[in-house]
Amino acid sequence: MSCPENQALIHGYVDGELDLLSTLQVEAHLKECAACARAYENHKALSRALRSGPLYFRPSANLEQRIRAELVESGATAIRPALSPREGSRRRPPSWAWLGVAASVVLVVLAVGWFVTKPFNTPPDRLVAQEVLAGHVRSLMASHLTDVPSSDQHTVKPWFDGKLDFAPPVEDLSAQGFPLVGGRLDYLEDRPVAALVYQRRKHFINVFIWPSTAQSAPRSVMRQGYNLIYWTSSGMTYWAVSDLNYTELSDFVRLFQDRASKTVSP
Amino acid sequence: MNGADQSGLFERAVLPHLGSAYNLARWLIRNDQDAEDLVQEACLRALKSFEGFRGGDARAWLLTIVRNSCYTWLRENRLQELATAFDEEIHTGEEDSPSPEALLLQGANTRLVQDALEALPPEFREAIVLRELEGLSYREIAGLCGVPVGTVMSRLARARQRLERHLTDSVQKGGLP
């Protein structure tokens, strides 16, 4: 095998991309041609230098945040038109349920009941989840995390007076490792809501609060890598959202609920 | 699949490869800010065409989109760079290749290697970046760049030769720190 032919193949050899026959040919050539052997050593040295690490460019942390925020925005616009046809088809009982009337009237009633109530529960929550998440991401992006930056609940709570037509419970959980960072007004579900910001290490937790008449135990949902836990009690709806892991976020929710139930009388 | 499920899936499949996407864009564009903007734009474009993505290698898929965005940008902003001829022949072993020790020594000098790589025309630069920094196979690179596997090998051959020459020239000019 001639040298020029080998010069190209040597690169395939360096990269481990040659078939067995070509590999054996190159190896045989390298044994007898000093110039090619030196070139081979050079290519390997260069390869090592390139792979050594410092040449790999890393994006700023900011880039991922920017992209996630854009995804939330486009996810929010994509979900709305997609909802109505699904809602329609879910509301309709499936045809087999009606065919089964003879077999069991009870079954049909149950099936219809489930299919009728389901769309009333799930999709609104999903829309709120999307809004809550967008609110959370926006608060971190626009460097507008808080309107009233304070770790003192007695500063944050009065700040909401006169800005909202309800008094959100503001709890101090710093002793439990969730220091209060501050409060903020936000807008969700077509109304102004209270947003409390807590911190756990480098993670922020937004708790959105607004009045509600329903009562429900905490439920959770994961959206785009964020954990959301929501519940209703004592006339308020709460949504806690963070990129914190689920276990710690639910610890936080338990602590928060515990405190809030003592300060808010139903 | 609704919008939220879709973007959740997209996040899990595609966002882990943001680092690779940025590394490729940064080497092609050679500017931090423009590279970040291009990656962001490419990600949005990827999200829009995500329904067309039928599983497989999400990294290669994202890199293809990023690469296309970069070349469009280069055509609009640095046409001259794309037009630069690179008709260097593959040199035979008869030439006096420098000793590998000289190259190794310069391997420590990152700045020098970076300059040499940045001086390569984009198609050759990306071959090196995809092979050496991303560890892609010839077949993957060929698919990504839309060229035959043989072209990938000859681009790598010429790129490495040029890099080695650049590095030894720098040494002779006293480029060592």
pLDDT score of A165 more than 90: no
Residues A50, B164: C-beta atoms closer than 8 Å = no
Q: B57 and B28, same structural domain?
A: yes
**Closest alpha carbon within chain A to B48:** A74
* pLDDT (0 to 100) of residue A90: 39
Distance between A176 CA and the closest CA of chain B, angstroms: 32
Which stretches of A120-252 are assigned E, i.e. beta strand? 148-149, 180-188, 191-200, 203-211, 216-223, 226-233, 236-242
The pLDDT tens digits of the residues spanning B48-77 come to: 877 777 667 889 989 999 999 999 999 888
B93 domain residue, yes or no: no
Q: A251 and A131, same structural domain?
A: yes
Mutate to test the interface with A, among B37, B51, B97 (most CBs of A within 10 A): B97
**Between residues B154 and B177, the one the model is more confident about:** B154
What domain range includes position A192?
A: 61-263
Q: A37 and A113, same structural domain?
A: no
Residue where a domain stops, chosen among B54, B81, B108:
B81
B138 domain residue, yes or no: yes
The pLDDT tens digits of the residues spanning A233-258 come to: 888 999 999 988 888 898 999 999 88
| Token code pair at residue A243 | 């990129």
Number of domains comprising chain B: 2
Calculated CA dihedral for residues B79, B85, B90, B91, nearest 10 degrees: -120
Q: B77 and B17, same structural domain?
A: yes
Residue A228 pairs in a beta bridge with A221, A241
The pLDDT tens digits of the residues spanning A169-196 come to: 998 898 889 999 899 988 888 888 999 9
Mutate to test the interface with B, among A9, A50, A122, A224 (most CBs of B within 10 A): A50
* pLDDT (0 to 100) of residue A118: 40
The percentage of residues in chain A with a pLDDT greater than 90, rounded to a whole number, is 21
The pLDDT tens digits of the residues spanning B74-124 come to: 988 877 777 665 555 544 444 556 665 666 555 557 788 888 899 999 999
Three-class SS state of A181 = strand
What domain range includes position B9?
A: 3-81
- Predicted confidence band of residue A92 (pLDDT cuts 50, 70, 90): very low
A88 domain residue, yes or no: yes
Distance between B78 CA and the closest CA of chain A, angstroms: 21
**Between residues B84 and B37, the one the model is more confident about:** B37
Q: How many CB atoms lie within 10 A of CB B21?
A: 29
Strands A180-188 and A216-223: unpaired
Number of domains comprising chain A: 2
CA B21 to chain CA centroid, Å, is 10
Closest to B2 (Cβ–Cβ): which among A6, A72, A82? A82
Q: A84 and A12, same structural domain?
A: no
Contacts of B6 in chain A (CB under 8 A): 75, 78
Closest to A41 (Cβ–Cβ): which among B39, B91, B100? B100
Distance between B171 CA and the closest CA of chain A, angstroms: 15
| Token code pair at residue B83 | 């037009």
B112 domain residue, yes or no: yes
pLDDT score of A266 more than 80: no
Contacts of A127 in chain B (CB under 8 A): none
Spatial contact of A226 and A242, defined as CB atoms under 8 Å apart:
yes
Closest to A11 (Cβ–Cβ): which among B10, B22, B157? B157
Q: A78 and A36, same structural domain?
A: no
Closest to B22 (Cβ–Cβ): which among A12, A41, A59? A59
Q: B76 and B12, same structural domain?
A: yes
* B62 closest CA partner among B10, B123, B118: B10
Q: Is A240 left (phi over 0), alpha (psi -120 to 50) or beta?
A: beta
* pLDDT (0 to 100) of residue A79: 36
Spatial contact of A217 and A193, defined as CB atoms under 8 Å apart:
no
Q: How far is CA B138 from CA A16, B73, B130, B135, B145, in A?
A: 10, 25, 9, 10, 10
The pLDDT tens digits of the residues spanning A145-160 come to: 888 888 888 888 888 8
Q: A127 and A16, same structural domain?
A: no
Average pLDDT score, chain A: 78
- In sequence order, what DSSP letters do the residues of A40-77 get, joined into one string? HHHHHHHHHHHHTSTTS----HHHHHHHHHHHHHHHHH
